[in-house]
Chain A
Amino acid sequence: MTAQTVTGASSSSSAPRPAGPWRRAGRRLARDRAAMVALAVLLAVTAACLMAPFYARDVAHTDPFTSNVAGAVMIDGRSVDIMQPNDNPLHLGLSPIGPTWRASADLLGADSQGRDLAARLLYGGRTSLLISFCAAALCIVLAAVVGIVAGYVGGIVDAVLSRIMDIMWAVPVYLFAISLSIVTVSQGLKLGPITIGSDNLLIPICIIALVYVPYAARPVRGRVMSLRRAEFVTAARALGVPGYRIVLRDILPNVTGTLVVLAPLMMALAMMAESALSFLSIGVQAPGASWGTIIQDGEGLIYTRPMVAIAPGLAIVIVVLALNVLGDGMRDALDVRDSGRERG
C-alpha cells in the first residue's frame, strides 16, 4: 500500500518528515529476527524456483516434463540407467534411480517416469507459489470488498452477505474446494463468451480464493463495523465527506493492517489447499507440476523411493512454516489489535 499523500505546506524542509505508521511497522519487523529469517527463506525458495529453467537446461540437462524411462545419466564417468531393477526381494519391475547427490545427474533421483525430481521440484514450486500467491491476493481483495460493504453498509446488505458467508463456512473448506474442482476439471469453466480450459491455473486460483473468502472477510467486517462507529468517521460525516470517500480515506487505511497481516496466513492456507487438490489430481493438471502433484507421483514409490514424496512435502512444510512465522511477525509489527491509540 502506498502512503497517503499530504498536500500540506510541505516546503518546510528543515524538520525531517516524521515516519508514517507503515514505515514504523517496517522498522519493527526488521528487528524481528524470526520474521526476517522466514522472509529470507521465502525469498530463497522463490528465487530458486524462478531459476528452474536454468537448472533444468544448464545444470541437469534434462526436460522435466517428458517421460524419460529409457534414459541414462553419467555418474562418475559411468553411464547408469535411470530405471533400474527393483531392489525388493522379488526383483520385480523397475524403480527410478534414487538420489545421486550430484547436481548434474538426478540430484534427488527421478520419479516413476524417469524425470529429474530436483528439476520438477523447482518447476512445481513455481506453480505452487504462483497459485498460492495469486489465490491469497484474490481472496484478500474479495474479502476486503465483502467485509467493507457488509460492515459499512450494514442492515439487510450485511445480513445477506453474512448469511452467504455462513453457508460457505458451514461446508468444510476442502470438501467445498474439491466439489468445485471436480466440476471444473471435467468440463472447464464457461462464463458466457469466456471459456477457461480445465488445465488453466486460473481455475485452482479462483476456487481456492473463493473458498477462503469467509475466513478473511469476517475479521475485516468486524473491524469495519467498529470503525464505522469511530468518532473520526462521525467527524468525517459532520465535515460533509461523501460516503465513498469515507470508505476509501478513513476506513480502508485502517483495515489494510488487518489485510496485510492476513496475507501470508492466507497464502499458507492456499498453498496447502493447492497441494491437497493437486494431490487428488483435481488441481494442477499433467504435465504441469506442483508440489501436490509430485507428492502424488511419489505415493506409488513411497517404499522404494520415498524422496519423491518427501522432498515436495518438506518444501511445503518449509514454505508454510515460514509464511506463518512471517505473518506472526507482521501482526506484531503492525500491532493490528490496537492500531488505534499509541499514547506513550
Chain B
Amino acid sequence: MTYRVGRGQVLRALDGVSLAVRPGEVLGLVGESGCGKSTLGRCLLRLVQPSGGRVVFDGTDITMLPERRLRPLRQDMQMVFQDSYAALNPRRRVGDLVAEPLRVHPAPSGGRRSRGEIAARLAELMDLVGLPQTALERYPHEFSGGQRQRINIARALALSPRLVVADEPVAALDVSIQAQIVNLFMDLRDRLGLTYVFVAHDLAVVRQISTRVAVMYLGAIVELGEADAVLHHPAHPYTAALIAAVPEPVVRTQGLPPPLRGDVPSPIAPPPGCRFHTRCPVVRERCRVDPPLLRALPDGRDVACHYPLVEERAGP
C-alpha cells in the first residue's frame, strides 16, 4: 500500500504484509500510531485500494473486483470504526442508520426486505447490543460514546457478517466503558461465531480479546503468533518494548529491555536493513544492512528478526 506524498516521494503505509485470518479467530493488530494497522484493516475491506498485492476473502480475490461485484460480498465483511460519532450520519435517526444495510442488500430469499422484516430485525439487534428499543427513534448525538459504539456494532451486525474488522473500537472510550464494549465483542463472537480483526494500540485490550496477535512496526508485521506466546514471551525486541511500555501498577524489574529511545523513522524514507534497527536495544551489525524476513519459529509463530529474544531450538 503506497501513497504518493508529492515531489515524487512515496509513502509506503504497508510494505510486504502477509497474513491470513482464520475463521473463528480474533486477530489482534497492534503497533504504535501510524504503523499502518488501520490502513491494513481498511485494505482488507477494500475501503482503500491497495497499490499492490492481493486481498482474498473466502477464496475470492477481491483486490481488483469492481465495487458493483464487491457489494454482495460486503454483507459478509463489516467494519466498526474508532470514532463512534463520525461513523454515524448526524442527520439520520438510529433506526434509519441501522436499517440501511438491510435496505440496500436483498434478503437471503432474494428480493427486498419488507418493512416488517426490517422492524423485527432492528428490534432483535437492539436486544443483541443491549440498547433499549426507544433508541431507534433517537439521533446519534443523544447517546454517550459507549452507546454510540453499540449502535455501530448493531449496524455492522445487521446482515450477520462472518468477518468484522474493528478499527480501534474502544480507543476513544472511557476505560470503564471500554471493558463493557470489549465484553460485548467477546459475547457476540461466542453467540454468533464471528471472526474479528481487532485493531488496537492498547495491549491490555488486545490481550483480553485476541486469540492471535500481529505486531506491526512502520508498515510491516514484525511478529505474528498465538496471543499468549507473543504477549508473554515476545520474540521481537519491538514487541518486548511495547509490552514494557504498558504502565503496570506493580513494578516489574527483571528481564526487561530498556525503554525505546527516539522517534519512529519517517515511512517516506524507512531505514535500510531492519526497519527497527534505529531504535532496537539489541541491534547488531547485520541488522543495519540485511532486512530480516518474516520466518517461522519452532513454537509456531512468525517473527521478522535476525536475533529473536526466544531461544531457537532446532528439532523437537
- A residues near B (Cβ < 8 Å) are 4-10, 12, 15, 17-18, 20-21, 230-232, 234-243, 245, 249-250, 253-254, 339-343
A242 to B70, CA, bound (A): 11
Tell me the interface secondary structure of chain B in the complex: helix
Asked if B293 CB lies within 8 Å of chain A CBs, one says no
Q: Is the CB of B101 within 8 A of A235?
A: no
- Nearest CB of chain B from residue A154's CB, rounded to whole Å: 14
Q: Is the CB of A21 within 8 A of B115?
A: no
Asked if B122 CB lies within 8 Å of chain A CBs, one says yes
Q: A21-B91, A232-B87 are in contact. Are A6 and B100 (CB under 8 A)?
A: no
> 0/1 per residue, B39-56, Cβ < 8 Å to A?
000000101000000000
Q: Is the CB of A240 within 8 A of B93?
A: no
Q: Is the CB of B90 within 8 A of A21?
A: yes
Residues of B contacting A4 in the complex (Cβ-Cβ under 8 angstroms): 91-93, 96
- Nearest CB of chain A from residue B68's CB, rounded to whole Å: 8
Q: Which residue of A lies closest to B101 (CB)?
A: A239
A272 to B5, CA, bound (A): 46
Q: Is the CB of B92 within 8 A of A239?
A: no
A341 to B185, CA, bound (A): 26
Binds A, one of B15-23, B129-137, B225-233, B266-274: B129-137
- Among A18, A230, A239, contact of B142 (Cβ-Cβ < 8 Å): A18
Q: A8-B119, A254-B89, A340-B90 are in contact. Are A234 and B95 (CB under 8 A)?
A: no
Residues of A contacting B199 in the complex (Cβ-Cβ under 8 angstroms): none
- Among A240, A242, A253, contact of B89 (Cβ-Cβ < 8 Å): A253
A249 to B95, CA, bound (A): 14
Q: Which residue of B lies closest to A14 (CB)?
A: B134
Residue tally, chain B, CB below 8 Å to A:
44
Q: Which residue of A lies closest to B45 (CB)?
A: A238
A237 to B119, CA, bound (A): 23
Q: Is the CB of A253 within 8 A of B92?
A: yes
Known: A17-B137, A18-B142, A243-B67. 20 other contacts (CB 8 A): A4-B92, A4-B96, A6-B95, A6-B96, A6-B137, A7-B119, A9-B95, A9-B123, A9-B133, A9-B136, A10-B95, A18-B138, A21-B90, A232-B89, A238-B47, A239-B100, A240-B71, A339-B90, A341-B141, A343-B85
- Nearest CB of chain A from residue B257's CB, rounded to whole Å: 37
A6 to B115, CA, bound (A): 10
Q: Is the CB of A342 within 8 A of B141?
A: yes
Residues of B contacting A236 in the complex (Cβ-Cβ under 8 angstroms): 89, 100
Can you list 23 contacts pairing A with B, beta carbon distance less than 8 Å?
A4-B93, A7-B99, A8-B99, A9-B136, A12-B133, A18-B142, A20-B93, A21-B139, A232-B88, A234-B47, A234-B87, A235-B87, A235-B88, A237-B47, A238-B45, A239-B100, A240-B101, A245-B104, A249-B92, A250-B92, A253-B92, A339-B90, A341-B85
Q: Which of A9, A15, A17, A235 has the most CB of B within 10 A?
A: A235
- Among B81, B141, B155, contact of A231 (Cβ-Cβ < 8 Å): B81
Residues of A contacting B115 in the complex (Cβ-Cβ under 8 angstroms): 7
Asked if B118 CB lies within 8 Å of chain A CBs, one says yes
A249 to B97, CA, bound (A): 10
- Among B75, B89, B137, contact of A18 (Cβ-Cβ < 8 Å): B137
- Nearest CB of chain A from residue B58's CB, rounded to whole Å: 15
- Nearest CB of chain A from residue B101's CB, rounded to whole Å: 5
A-facing residues in B245-280 (Cβ within 8 Å): none
Asked if B207 CB lies within 8 Å of chain A CBs, one says no
Q: Is the CB of B74 within 8 A of A240?
A: yes
Residues of B contacting A237 in the complex (Cβ-Cβ under 8 angstroms): 47
